[in-house]
Amino acid sequence: MFNISIEVRSSTLIMLYIISFIFVIRFLGMVIIVGILRGAGDARSSLIIEGLTMWFIGVPLTIMGAFLF
């Protein structure tokens, strides 16, 4: 039904590998921050960690990915 070229297939597989790697890292961070720190009653540290990583790592990488690559 769907006939895709070899180039499209290889590009899709590369993107899936990258996305799955990123998701594993993000979800491990969520478990550590949300599960452990907030469960222990330390909501302020988890807020600071999440905010800093989002603004100083996530946003610049997104901008670089959108405009440079």
Task: Spell out the residues 6+ positions from residue 34 whose beta carbon is closer than 8 angstroms to its own.
Answer: 46
7-62 tens-digit pLDDT: 999 999 999 999 999 888 888 877 877 788 888 888 888 888 888 888 998 899 89
Write down the pTM of the prediction.
0.54
Amino acid at 22: I
CA distance 42 to 9: 45
Quote the pLDDT of residue 27. 85
